[in-house]
Chain A
Amino acid sequence: MTVAELSSINTTQTNGRYAVELQNTHIYYGSFRAVKDVSLQIERQKITAFIGPSGCGKSTVLRAINRMNDLIPGSRLEGRILFHGKNIYDPDVDPVEVRRRIGMVFQKPNPFPKSIYDNIMFGPRINGWRGTKAQADELVERALRGAAIWDEVKDKLHQPGTALSGGQQQRLCIARALAVQPEVILMDEPCSALDPISTLKIEELMLELRRNYTIIIVTHNMQQASRVSDYTAFFLMDADRAGQLIEYGPTEEIFTSPKDKRTEDYISGRFG
């Protein structure tokens, strides 16, 4: 069964507990092993935070989940990443389909230099969307409402998305990701370029989105991880500079009584 076949299945019918499962995943850039033997299960409709120092491979793991790493020449993955029980790295799976089902929000807000409306509609259009103008309007409104930015932009849908403030741009990017109806949203340090107020708005939005989507967020901001996430995975670079999963568990536990000394050292800022 391919992912394409799976995507026709209503998500409410597949009531497995995990949205994504990584099984003994190793990620290589050329001959360099960037990530070593990561196994973890991401719970459906929860927020999972990846934390760890720079270069610990957390972003690499995140990007592996929707095959964004494929865009980097020489990158390669061993092991399996299961989505609906299907390994998305199987040869019969098209990464384009994977990226539609598993959306992504990037570190720096990156709206297209087009109107807000076209920013939202780009995803549906390239994915073969068909519908009337009224349906398109509805789709745009829902996506923008979903990202809690509708009220701020409803009067300027045809102005360029790049004219918005940083926080609004990031929410526009989230809305853009919602428009192709993904199940999982990956967020790669979505707030690192934003001011504290915008950061809180995004965090609040994430808590809101958790009702319908599974969210995985990479963050350097430990407070953010403790504030928004349900589960936290801590990554660390080993002696070969390969990223490893050190500890994974409920956020409350990771932030109050981590089992691994390295986790405790990192969270308490005593690391390195």
Chain B
Amino acid sequence: MSTRVNPRERPTGYLPEGADINRNIAARRLRGKIWQAIFFSSLVIGLLALGTLLYTIIDDSFGYIAVQNKKDPEELSSRPLEELSKEELIEILRANISPGLFRRFDRDEPFSERSKESVLQLIEERVIGREVVASFKLTESLLERERIEATVRERFPRAKLEFYSWLNRDFLTRPMSSVPILAGIGNAVLGSLWVIAITMILAVPIGILGGVYLEEYASDTWYYRLIETNINNLAGVPSIIYGILGLAVFVRALEPLTSGAMFGVTDSNGRTILSAGLTMALLVLPLMIINAREAIRAVPQSIRQASYGLGATKWQTVWHHVLPNALPGILTGTILSMSRAMGETAPLIVVGASTFVVFFPDSVFDKFTVIPIQIFNWTSQPGAQFRSAAAAAIIVLLVTLLLLNATAILLRNRFKRSY
């Protein structure tokens, strides 16, 4: 064992010796282990949070539903409805709804002109009246089947129990509906696509060109530095501020343009896809510029010098070397901006995304909804069934975002260069 040395006794202090070295190392290692454990627990907390999120969503999206028909199809016809002719179907419809309603349908669109599917749909909606009377979460569906069956037998003796995935093909293509099981995100997906398209058409070229100018042409003067600082700050501005800006400028001030009044569209106000797209473009533009600048800056100076050294002009250097080499980076950033725009909700609420749109948009001057708004809407509705629809929509949104990010990563790796 070493003898304890008073550090003060030595002019140069005391460095551990003998057994002290081992003690010292053990203490240092222990400290390291503790920190490692703290880092690891943070990771575990993160993973737990993610797991809980996914569990809740999936739990809501799948499970048993109790379905009850006002009238069973077997009572209407001995054969399956799909095999009947259009005329037979019309007869069934006439027999089971009030004459007034039948006349109204005929007025909307004469039965002679309707397709068989359209008639079948009317029968399903008005006569059979398939209705979900109860829905259950995935966990209980899997673990407590007997209890669910007992409950349903007791409370809805006529109802049939079936396993249902709220996320299905119809869900992706159908528009919003007031009946949860008939509701879909088709128009929200389309709305998102429209908005993203407008956002990208505007933000990508402006962002790249602005980035090129700032990086390659702008000199280091106070006004360019001011612009730079502002762009960096704009990227950090809360998105709702952009919503308020969009509301003031695009929805109100530029209403003739954004409502399409200038182009002869009359049935609209400024709360259109165009306004939303313009607002979103404003929101992602600073991101695009910053990202383009970073991608351009990552192009090594040596490549530029080589180009200049051969007698290339600035433009030739930018066009032949800087842009091609920065493109993968710019593309990656564009995709990330796109996913940002895709998930953004707040500014669109302010700009005026409609929460209940049952038709599909077909021009930029249409009212619109987008996936996150739809989710927001459904989660604020009463009833467990809308929550399930929301969960299914969340899955759609998450998968889309994951795909976008994966594409970005793939692009980055694919074009990773060795200079």
Q: Which residues of A contact B (CB under 8 A)?
A: 66, 68, 71, 73, 96-97, 99-100, 103-104, 106, 108, 110-113, 122-123, 126-127, 162, 173, 176-177, 180
CA distance A103 to B312 in the complex (A): 12
CA distance A180 to B308 in the complex (A): 12
In the A-B complex, list the 5 residue pairs whose CB atoms are closest, starting with the nearest.
Answer: A100-B311, A110-B302, A123-B310, A104-B309, A99-B311
Q: Are A177 and B309 in contact (CB-based, < 8 A)?
A: yes
Q: Are A123 and B311 in contact (CB-based, < 8 A)?
A: yes
Residues of chain A with a CB closer than 8 A to B219's CB: 73
**Taking CB as reference atom, which chain B residue is nearest A124?**
B310
Asked, given contacts A122-B320, A126-B320, A162-B418, whether A71 binds B305 with beta carbons under 8 Å apart, the answer is yes
Q: Which residues of B contact A (CB under 8 A)?
A: 219-220, 300, 302-313, 316, 320-321, 325, 417-419
Residues of chain B with a CB closer than 8 A to A99's CB: 308-311
Cβ-defined partner of B311 (8 Å) among A106, A108, A127, A162: A127
CA distance A202 to B307 in the complex (A): 21
Q: Are B320 and A97 in contact (CB-based, < 8 A)?
A: no
Q: Are B310 and A177 in contact (CB-based, < 8 A)?
A: yes
Cβ-defined partner of B220 (8 Å) among A73, A100, A127, A177: A73
**B324 vs chain A, min Cβ distance (A):** 8
**Taking CB as reference atom, which chain B residue is nearest A179?**
B310
Interchain Cβ contacts under 8 Å between A and B, 12 examples = A71-B304, A73-B220, A99-B309, A100-B311, A103-B309, A106-B302, A112-B307, A113-B325, A122-B320, A123-B312, A126-B312, A173-B306
Asked, given contacts A99-B311, A110-B300, A110-B419, whether A126 binds B305 with beta carbons under 8 Å apart, the answer is no
Cβ-defined partner of A96 (8 Å) among B304, B305, B311, B320: B311
Residues of chain A with a CB closer than 8 A to B306's CB: 106, 110-112, 173, 176
Q: Are B305 and A113 in contact (CB-based, < 8 A)?
A: no
Cβ-defined partner of B308 (8 Å) among A71, A112, A127, A173: A71
**Taking CB as reference atom, which chain B residue is nearest A162?**
B418
Residues of chain B with a CB closer than 8 A to A112's CB: 303, 306-307, 321
**Taking CB as reference atom, which chain B residue is nearest A109?**
B302
CA distance A173 to B302 in the complex (A): 12
Asked, given contacts A126-B316, A162-B417, whether A68 binds B311 with beta carbons under 8 Å apart, the answer is no
CA distance A126 to B316 in the complex (A): 7
Q: Are B417 and A122 in contact (CB-based, < 8 A)?
A: no
Residues of chain B with a CB closer than 8 A to A100's CB: 310-311
Interface centre among A73, A99, A106, A113 (most CB of B within 10 A): A113
Q: Are B419 and A68 in contact (CB-based, < 8 A)?
A: no
**B296 vs chain A, min Cβ distance (A):** 15
Q: Are A180 and B305 in contact (CB-based, < 8 A)?
A: no
Cβ-defined partner of B309 (8 Å) among A106, A113, A127: A106
Q: Are B310 and A122 in contact (CB-based, < 8 A)?
A: yes
Q: Are A176 and B310 in contact (CB-based, < 8 A)?
A: yes
**B308 vs chain A, min Cβ distance (A):** 6
Asked, given contacts A73-B220, A110-B302, whether A96 binds B419 with beta carbons under 8 Å apart, the answer is no
CA distance A151 to B224 in the complex (A): 50
Residues of chain A with a CB closer than 8 A to B300's CB: 110
Q: Are B308 and A68 in contact (CB-based, < 8 A)?
A: yes
**A114 vs chain B, min Cβ distance (A):** 9
CA distance A104 to B417 in the complex (A): 24
**B312 vs chain A, min Cβ distance (A):** 5
Q: Are B302 and A108 in contact (CB-based, < 8 A)?
A: yes
CA distance A106 to B219 in the complex (A): 25
Residues of chain A with a CB closer than 8 A to B321's CB: 112
**Taking CB as reference atom, which chain A residue is nearest B304?**
A71
Q: Are A113 and B310 in contact (CB-based, < 8 A)?
A: no
Asked, given contacts A110-B300, A112-B303, whether A126 binds B308 with beta carbons under 8 Å apart, the answer is no
Asked, given contacts A112-B321, A113-B419, A162-B417, whether A68 binds B309 with beta carbons under 8 Å apart, the answer is yes
Residues of chain B with a CB closer than 8 A to A66's CB: 309
CA distance A180 to B320 in the complex (A): 17
**B282 vs chain A, min Cβ distance (A):** 31
Residues of chain B with a CB closer than 8 A to A96's CB: 311-313
CA distance A66 to B308 in the complex (A): 10
Cβ-defined partner of A126 (8 Å) among B303, B310, B419: B310
Cβ-defined partner of A162 (8 Å) among B304, B312, B313, B419: B419
Q: Are A106 and B305 in contact (CB-based, < 8 A)?
A: yes
CA distance A48 to B321 in the complex (A): 32
Residues of chain A with a CB closer than 8 A to B220's CB: 73
**Taking CB as reference atom, which chain A residue is nearest B315?**
A126
